[in-house]
Structure 1
Amino acid sequence: MAMDVGPALAAVRAAPTLLQGMREARALAAAAAAAPGDDSLSTLRSAALTSDPLTATAAVHALGAMDHPSAGCVLTDLLSGERRYVAEHAVDALRNTPLVGAALPVLADVCREGGFAGMLAQRTLEQWASQGPDEVRAALVGELRTCTDPVGRARLVETLGLVAGAATTQALLDHAADDDEALPVRAAALAALGDGPAADRSAEPLLVALTRSMGPLAQTARLALHDLCPAPTVPAPGGLTVAQVFLHSDIDGRLHHSGQGDTGGIATLLVHLGDALLRRQPRIGRVLTISGGSPDPAQFPLARIRSLDSPTPGSELLTAGHHYARVQLTGAPSGVSRAWPARVSARRGIRRVLRTAGHVDAIHLRMADVGSMAAAEVACELDIPVVLTLAPDPQALIEARDTAGTLTRSGFGEADLVEHLWFRDRLLLDLTEKADHLALFPRPQVERDLQRYLGLDLSDRPERATVVGEGVDVSALGRAVREVRDEAVRGSAAAVALRELDDLLATLPTARRGLPVAVSVGRLNAVKGMATLVRGWVDDPDLHDRCNVLLVGGDLEHPTDEEAAELARIDAVVPAAEAAERGLLLAGHRPNATTIAWLAALRAARAGVGGLPGIYVSASLKEEFGIAILEAMAVGLVVVAPAGGGPATYVAHGETGILTATSTPYAVAAAMHAALDLAAAPGAEARGRQAQDMVRTRFGIDIMAASLAAVYQRVAAPRRPGRTGGRGSTGTTAGPVRHDAMEGAS
């Protein structure tokens, strides 16, 4: 006889930390699935109404895991409750229950409203559409009859496109062809007619007509026509084809958008890594870097069909090389935290790229965001092996904030409404479970941390994971250092970058121009700690008198919400009008090559005649690895870095930098003092060379590419022609977790 859920629920209530409570919630869901009786249902219904947000949320998801005929009805009742976080989780949990008719109009309304909850409602309706397409369609059509907001109507039509059936296709055709309908609505209908369960060749005449037009829907119709009637693919070039995904920036080979919005170190990494992978010939033949932005029509040629005048050439994605393919996300541009509603357009765009590219041997995902969620769904559909770079985010941040008292049980529900902590935790665990192979960042105790943060024990399948440190382009960094130091070899780009730096430093008061500069490079996001750095510097008069601060990153003219919030926090410490006068310089985002030239110049004390060498400061609350930190060390700068996570494996404390807690301004300021002392102490040149040698020998991008090429080869082998093996097979033998040559203590 199955036991009730009481003991598991008690464990959630008694959990000493938020993270432990979230782990106990998984056991509660398992207990509910194993004991779906009336007593368990009653217990969980009561728990969902408790005032403890963590327990209530755990109970909601346990109800979703129950195979009880009334569980869906209980969750439906919770949709109308006053606690928004409970209602939001009920929307998500209903996805795992059979269709509940009474919930359909509520879910359609939530879908219309959009946002994160709208995405959850859309997912649930999509799942239910496989059980009852007529009922789901009727609910969406009914909501459309009363909705007049174009954006809301577009969301409803997009969701309608997830419902199979001839009636859906006709409804989409009606919306797409209606000249009186708003453009976003028509665009959503066109996209669904090209790719989705309601897509049908009956839409071809309309798509062709709009493709030939000069109107605003021509591009959307063209892509939909490509999806509906794809051009035949040709055999892929020799070597493996690897895709890598990051949708929250427009990535180009020259990194013009570095530091803007969410275009941080990951964009730099993907560009350099893609190029380095191709140098692993003959093992890697193509790299597809998939980012956000406007798709290139030339990459998606139309098939030779009767209604078009002439054929188009094959897609360039089918040729060898590093290709940048872009996915247009629905809605206004938004950062990682607000992009969840773009799930359907992200999935459709990623599917388009991967199908056009023909055979893809592996897809590499790097974070628990909407892009990875969508890409994982497509990879499963197309049977493409998945490699996941696994980092405990948001788990490490939850623990840090819990310890600091800034995130509490009583405030968890409201924080979760904004940050979606529970969902992101579950998404990462789901991606981990389904990945064919895990790439782990170097950490001092990596396997212990996986158990601590994720409850993940790799001892039963150690062959699934490889420790792979990230890498930087050491040859380009070395070139930058030489160009800064020797005018005879200086290129025009470096000369322009140095003039820009000199102009920026010239805005400082004369008395401050001889001071060293503490520079920090990264996104203007709270997690990067720029405001914490400024607060520590201002609150310590000796430190303020000792150095200037230069922040590189962010769009200062048109900031995203996250950037605007961080700029406001900085402005509260040093008003923008007083910043330069007080020694604070905000440079905004700069191309990666410009940033590297600046770092090299500050290492050479370009701050003024007789100036002292600068230092690099990372005040990030968490730093899984730290590309910008490595770049600073590669030019010889002394660095300040977080003591936890990846930097602790390569920063030699007291020699090449200072490791510190970064949760308080005081700790950051103290570390900056120590770093300035270290930069000016005897032996600084030798220590700078030590840092440079460490980066060159352990963290070159080619070393990283070699490690990953071996991983891609292993996951692809079972599915290459002439080989056997199913999904999840890695072709490796049991043994300890693999560590590449870059992992280890400094």
Structure 2
Amino acid sequence: MELTAALDRLRRTPFLLDVVRSADDLALVASREGGRQAVGILRRAIHDDENQLVAIAAVHALGRVFDDEADDVLSELLSNEHAFLREHAAWAFGGRLPRMDAVSRLVGCVVQAGFTGMLAQRTLQQWGASAPDHIALALESALISESEPGARSRLVETLGLVSGRVAGRALREIAANVGEQQDARVAAIAGLGDRRGDERALRLVREIAAAGSEAADSQATIDAARLALVDLGDAPAAIRFGDGLTVAQLFLHADIDRGLTRAGAGDNGGVATLLVRLGDALASLDGIDRVLTLSRGDAGVAADTLLAAEQLVLADHEFVPVPLLSEPSPQARSWHTRVAAERGIRRALVALGPVDVLHLRMADVGSMAASSVARELGIPVVFTLAPDPHGVIRALDVAGALTVANFGDVDEREHYWFRHRLVQRLAADAEHTVLFPRPALRDELQELLGIDIDSSPEQYTVVPEGIDLATIDDAILDVEARADGAVIDALDDLDALISALPEHRRGLPLALSVGRLHRVKGMATVVEAWASDATLLATCNLVIVGGDLAAPSPDEQSQLDAIDGVLRDHPRAAEGLVLAGHRPNDVVSRWLAATRLGSGALVGANGIYVCGSLKEEFGIAILEALAAGLVVVTPDAGGPATYVDDGVTGVLVDTGSASGVRRGMADALLIAARDEPERVAAARGIVRERFTVQAMATALERVYATVAENRRLDSMTLSSTGGAS
């Protein structure tokens, strides 16, 4: 059979990424063959424990076989002992007609939460379009026996995605019940916000939003009701002035504010810094009237912002909170916020619109939600495309850490398959694609993503990221002024940290590393590289900037534990290690300048900057370090390899191991010790000439203007033809 031959080809395919990309071919063959025999062949492949990767491909191929026996197998998989098979079955069911005996199992997946719960919820939402009452009754039945608050809120949230009389009645009852658990009530109120035209829903939401009424027993329910009023159209919309564009950009996994006060904590990394600086730069251009930067935030603040939208019309760059109605979670574990993210993004874009262009970055739940909203509202999307997770899959494959035998187990945590498909969808739906500069860009995109950019060059634009050079220049002036007696608070803070070290460590140069405490950023690897080398240890102190040390997230705690392990093996290193925690961007800029120029008797001059990231698509912090005149240690792949002059302005190394970082630090300290003005000028010059945020904004303005104009012309064409195709 052709299906057997297709499976054999997948099993013989040497690279994991090529198997993932070829899975559609298997699904196509399965859809053509169909029938009991095809189901049997795929079922055997699914239960092959030695090849989890092909098993996943077989699950999705089975989803394309429209046969009762295929439904039976997929339904059984929803209760499989392997979580990766459960989640892929829940996903595959979304492309099929409702299967009533699978509904209860999908509801059970929602109760279990996590990534599988999100996929099951999405499938139930799709099935609810054709069988709303059946889905609603199943969810109501589950609520009767479920008392755990989180599970109840997820069930109610799913109920809010289902149309029809049964779901509407249930949502109103839960929303009005002051004895109901708060999270479930909030979910019900949010669900009522989706039911435009339902006068009973509108009256109830208005009553709850009226603080002091019997129905409003907590601030959370009041805030949820105020947001639902926005969703129901019971709030003023922003008034637009000017002919320029309104551009929206988002990163939901950060707490973004104008002062970047949370930079380096949790997922508040380089992207958060970039969006603040870039938004300001875009808003200063003649062709752009407003920039909306969306990130997670408080429900009450969001309600205050959107209910007074008409007062925001004159703001050039607005920071708009998107309430996710749950405790902040790391980016990789935020998939459960999909529904709240969609609602929050939709209400912001509608209330503060019209929006001409939405710029998305990263294959995460925020981009997934925003892409769906943009499609619904008819907003064109620009997508910044990077080979992630593709490059990670290939690297782990080559290293032997990811194999066909463990792919499913790893995929449970990292969701490589889903993210790969999400990148495909985001790229396909985008009106225009922005690319980072990379060595051999065309070859990498062809090899990793199967994209030939030469086939439609008008679809792609290479745009380097950029930094606000004025911030670094001001920092350098502050460090120089401090030498003349000026009081600079940021430098006093650095002095205080170094003063806490033993006396013999004071006056040494610094090796500075800035970023999130996440395994991808390699902070523990940097500490190991420095601590395990006697010469490095004697030559410099190591300052790690980033992370919430007072209340670390699980990812941050994992890195802190790894650093503790290094210090147990190398106890003397504790004398010269400073864990500074996250600091505002302006403070970090001054520490970068002090690392090169020194700070009194405590910090020696001619220190270095170290980036230990496993991957760095471009590297905002690296650019800031170069702009400060520092010698940088960076990954030898990705964006940095396009602008770091190896052996001159920095050292390119394999950051996948401590030995590579160790060599880079040693070489960088030797280069820095020569204190050559020509090297400093070259480092600062390349940033000034090519990588300012103003240059980035100008390049993106051209992209946005083209996309908006193309959409306007398409609309005119549709209007002139009466919408006919």
Which residue in the other structure is 2:246 paired with?
241
**1:4/1:39 contact within 8 Å kept:** no
Q: Does 1:376 align with 2:371?
A: yes
Which residue in the other structure is 1:730 paired with?
none
Which residue in the other structure is 2:57 paired with?
58
Paired AA for residue 184 in structure 2:
V
Which residue in the other structure is 2:632 paired with?
639
The Cα of 1:141 is off from its aligned counterpart by 1.1
Which residue in the other structure is 1:131 paired with?
130
Paired AA for residue 260 in structure 1:
A
1:426 equivalent among 404, 421, 431:
421
Which residue in the other structure is 2:296 paired with?
292
Which moved further from structure 2: 215-224 or 170-179?
215-224
Whole-angstrom distance in 2 between the partners of 1:190 and 1:316: 26
Which residue in the other structure is 2:226 paired with?
222
Paired AA for residue 53 in structure 2:
L
Paired AA for residue 106 in structure 2:
L
Q: Does 1:439 align with 2:444?
A: no
Which residue in the other structure is 1:173 paired with?
172
1:704 equivalent among 696, 718, 723:
696
Is there any run of 5+ residues in structure 1 with no aligned partner, and where? 302-312, 728-746
Which residue in the other structure is 1:328 paired with?
323
The Cα of 1:182 is off from its aligned counterpart by 0.4
| Aligned pairs for 1:302-451 within 5 A | 314-451=309-446
**2:133/2:165 contact within 8 Å kept:** no
Which residue in the other structure is 1:88 paired with?
87
Which residue in the other structure is 1:154 paired with?
153
The Cα of 1:581 is off from its aligned counterpart by 4.3
Mark the CA change 1:698 to 1:110 in structure 2 (over 3 Å): closer, same or farther: same
Which residue in the other structure is 1:251 paired with?
256
The Cα of 1:152 is off from its aligned counterpart by 0.5
| Aligned pairs for 1:541-620 within 5 A | 541-574=534-567, 581-606=574-599, 608=601, 611-620=604-613
Which moved further from structure 2: 568-577 or 500-509?
568-577
Q: Deviations over 1:401-444 (max 9, x none)?
A: 22222222222111111111111111111111111111100001
Q: Does 1:523 align with 2:516?
A: yes
The Cα of 1:685 is off from its aligned counterpart by 2.0
The Cα of 1:205 is off from its aligned counterpart by 2.3
Structure 2 counterpart SS, 1:708? helix
Mark the CA change 1:220 to 1:199 in structure 2 (over 3 Å): closer, same or farther: farther
Paired AA for residue 712 in structure 1:
Y
| Aligned pairs for 1:601-680 within 5 A | 601-606=594-599, 608=601, 611-680=604-673
**1:192/1:199 contact within 8 Å kept:** no
Structure 1 counterpart SS, 2:247? strand
Paired AA for residue 357 in structure 2:
A
**2:633/2:652 contact within 8 Å kept:** yes
Whole-angstrom distance in 1 between the partners of 2:327 and 2:224: 16
Which residue in the other structure is 1:304 paired with?
none
**2:595/2:604 contact within 8 Å kept:** no
Structure 2 counterpart SS, 1:472? coil
Q: Deviations over 1:545-574 (max 9, x none)?
A: 222111000000101111111111111111
Paired AA for residue 231 in structure 2:
D
Paired AA for residue 415 in structure 2:
H
Paired AA for residue 37 in structure 2:
D
Give the TM-score of the pair, scaled to structure 2. 0.94
The Cα of 1:507 is off from its aligned counterpart by 1.5
Whole-angstrom distance in 2 between the partners of 1:607 and 1:653: 30
Which residue in the other structure is 1:717 paired with?
709
Which moved further from structure 2: 215-224 or 155-164?
215-224
Q: Deviations over 1:38-76 (max 9, x none)?
A: 433322121111111101011011112334443222211
**1:643/1:660 contact within 8 Å kept:** yes
2:529 equivalent among 501, 515, 536:
536
Structure 2 counterpart SS, 1:5? helix
Q: Deviations over 1:666-695 (max 9, x none)?
A: 1110111010011112x6221011010100
Q: Deviations over 1:374-393 (max 9, x none)?
A: 00000000000001111111
| Aligned pairs for 1:110-125 within 5 A | 110-125=109-124
Q: Deviations over 1:488-512 (max 9, x none)?
A: 99986xx000000011111222222
Whole-angstrom distance in 1 between the partners of 2:492 and 2:294: 34
**How many residue pairs were aligned?**
709
Whole-angstrom distance in 2 between the partners of 1:227 and 1:666: 54
Paired AA for residue 677 in structure 1:
L
The Cα of 1:296 is off from its aligned counterpart by 3.3
Which moved further from structure 2: 477-486 or 650-659?
477-486
Which residue in the other structure is 1:143 paired with?
142
Mark the CA change 1:610 to 1:587 in structure 2 (over 3 Å): closer, same or farther: closer
Is there any run of 5+ residues in structure 2 with no aligned partner, and where? 213-217, 720-725
Structure 2 counterpart SS, 1:250? coil
The Cα of 1:149 is off from its aligned counterpart by 0.9
**1:717/1:723 contact within 8 Å kept:** no
Which residue in the other structure is 2:502 paired with?
509
The Cα of 1:204 is off from its aligned counterpart by 2.2
The Cα of 1:578 is off from its aligned counterpart by 6.0
Structure 2 counterpart SS, 1:289? strand
**1:718/1:726 contact within 8 Å kept:** no
**1:12/1:22 contact within 8 Å kept:** no
Whole-angstrom distance in 2 between the partners of 1:314 and 1:22: 45
Structure 1 counterpart SS, 2:548? coil
Which moved further from structure 2: 362-371 or 210-219?
210-219
Whole-angstrom distance in 1 between the partners of 2:320 and 2:431: 24
1:17 equivalent among 11, 15, 18:
15
Whole-angstrom distance in 1 between the partners of 2:199 and 2:483: 64
- Give identity over the alignment, percent: 46
Which residue in the other structure is 2:5 paired with?
7
Which residue in the other structure is 1:210 paired with?
208
The Cα of 1:33 is off from its aligned counterpart by 3.2
Which moved further from structure 2: 117-126 or 482-491?
482-491
The Cα of 1:373 is off from its aligned counterpart by 0.5
Structure 2 counterpart SS, 1:724? helix
The Cα of 1:177 is off from its aligned counterpart by 0.7
Whole-angstrom distance in 2 between the partners of 1:576 and 1:378: 51
Mark the CA change 1:338 to 1:489 in structure 2 (over 3 Å): closer, same or farther: farther
Which residue in the other structure is 1:106 paired with?
105
| Aligned pairs for 1:164-203 within 5 A | 164-196=163-195, 200-203=198-201
Whole-angstrom distance in 2 between the partners of 1:74 and 1:658: 54
The Cα of 1:233 is off from its aligned counterpart by 3.1
Whole-angstrom distance in 2 between the partners of 1:106 and 1:535: 47
The Cα of 1:487 is off from its aligned counterpart by 3.6
Paired AA for residue 641 in structure 1:
T
**1:513/1:607 contact within 8 Å kept:** no
Structure 2 counterpart SS, 1:486? helix
The Cα of 1:231 is off from its aligned counterpart by 3.0
Q: Deviations over 1:590-624 (max 9, x none)?
A: 00000010000111023746834110000100000
Whole-angstrom distance in 2 between the partners of 1:66 and 1:459: 36
Q: Deviations over 1:253-308 (max 9, x none)?
A: 11001001000000110000001001211x1000000000113333222xxxxxxx
**1:362/1:712 contact within 8 Å kept:** yes
Which moved further from structure 2: 576-585 or 367-376?
576-585
**1:441/1:469 contact within 8 Å kept:** yes
